[in-house]
Amino acid sequence: MEKKMKLETRAVHAGDRKRTGTWVPVTTPIHTATSYFYDNMADLDRAFDDGSPSYSRHGNPTNEALEELIASLEGGAGALACASGMSALNIALMAALMDRRRVILAASALYGATINMLMKVLEPSGIEIVFVDFADEEATKAAIAEHRPGAMLMETISNPLLRVAPLDRIATMANDAGAQLVVDSTFSTPMITRPLEFGAHFVVHSLTKYLSGHGDVLGGAVITTAENLGPLRSLAKSLGPLLGPFEAYLTMRGIKSFPVRMERQCANACKIASWLAAHPAVERVYFPADPKHPDAANIKRTFAPGLYGAMVSFEIKGAEREGVFRFMNALEMIVPGTSLGDVQTMVLYPVMASHRDLSPKHRARLGIHDNLIRMSVGIEAMEDIITDLDRALRS
């Protein structure tokens, strides 16, 4: 699929309609075979080198179609579809550290499970983990000079307080230092920002979220540059963290409508964030479109015009855990779920869910208070979302 086509067109067409003999399937079939044979053994021998199907841990035609599609959306040389977002992040970091110092400089504002992986899995295995506020450019430069990281890790929009570090400048710092920059771009999606275009080396998505978009897929993806694609695929052959073909098919189907969904979700989120900011029961709203957002300059440089994501976080005035539970129990349409990016609006209590495993002191340092709600805005009528929120906030 030619890159000159717009993202909305590539989302519909990239990866699909591979010719098989004299016929072409309109959508990519679900290939469930675990192994493949050829009429001639010389052809099977070549398949191990040229990427043709041989064994599904090495590659599956359904997965490969999805990988082609995702790589096209992000402008990467290739991609790897994984069993979950966390498995994708793990293998991206492993690939980034190959032949480099085993030091990861990570943004202090990250998803709770990511922090746990860094501190409880990678650090005990001998990888040095250093946290720094990536929104503070001087502190980041100093940390790079002091620790000389082999890899750096950040989110385009942080979970759950929606901070936006200077992706373009962080990428320049990483390249200047010879470090590989890994960017979790789940919250922003390729509609809003494409980290490889700014100089990042690996982009990670939880396919579970906006790209599949319907709450029926658990998956992840890594998109990378030509230089890193070989090492990434070699690791995948050894470790086997691959997505199943049914999930790959569902994700491809979801991506076809992803641009339309994302535009609607972003538009709804802007209106709802403004409404929440004026509500008497709301203490504070976190949303990237806010002109007073601390990272407004970064957002202007690195985001697509008029798109700010569909995540809105807010604090309920004077609420403790009991008050938050009362609000969530009072919701009638909005789903109190444990994910995001689906077509339906969902709310999550970070203290209980996404950042549950962090200590109260650690959460406090990150600014995650007991009255914080994280909301993933869906595609419903905006008026219906507001009606449900208002009813629950006044309960």
Region 246-261: mean pLDDT is: 97
Q: Rounded to whole angstroms, how far apart are CA atoms 37 and 54?
A: 7
Determine the pLDDT at residue 216: 96
pLDDT in tens, 211-237: 999 999 999 999 999 999 999 999 999
pLDDT above 90 (res 298)? yes
pLDDT in tens, 80-125: 999 999 999 999 999 999 999 999 999 999 999 999 999 999 999 9
Lowest mean pLDDT among 17-21, 46-50, 264-268, 291-295: 17-21
pLDDT in tens, 355-377: 888 888 989 888 899 999 999 99
Region 312-318: mean pLDDT is: 97
Determine the pLDDT at residue 353: 81
pLDDT in tens, 129-171: 999 999 999 999 999 999 999 999 999 999 999 999 999 999 9
Find, among 90, 84, 74, the residue nearest to 244 by Cα: 84
Strand partners, 219: none
Determine the pLDDT at residue 2: 58
Tell me the catalytic residues. Answer: 57, 111, 184, 209
Determine the pLDDT at residue 3: 58
Assign domain 7-253 one CATH number from 3.30.110.40, 3.40.640.10, 3.30.110.30, 3.50.50.100: 3.40.640.10
- Amino acid at residue number 238: S
Which ranges in the chain belong to alpha helices (H)?
Answer: 7-13, 41-50, 61-74, 85-96, 112-116, 137-147, 167-177, 189-192, 226-239, 245-277, 296-302, 321-330, 360-366, 382-393
**pLDDT confidence band for 282 (50 / 70 / 90):** very high
- For the CA atoms of 232, 235, 240, 245, the dihedral, rounded to the nearest 10 degrees, stands at 20
| Mean pLDDT, rounded, of the chain | 95
What's the token pair of residue 358?
């962090």
pLDDT above 80 (res 341)? yes
CA distances from 199 to 78, 195, 203, 228 (A): 16, 7, 11, 13
Q: Where are the domains of the chain?
A: 7-253, 258-393
Assign domain 258-393 one CATH number from 3.90.190.20, 3.40.50.2300, 2.40.110.10, 3.90.1150.10: 3.90.1150.10
Task: Provide the 8-state DSSP code for 54.
Answer: S
**Contact at 8 Å (CB) between 306 and 336?**
no
**pLDDT confidence band for 26 (50 / 70 / 90):** confident
**Contact at 8 Å (CB) between 352 and 320?**
no
**pLDDT confidence band for 1 (50 / 70 / 90):** very low
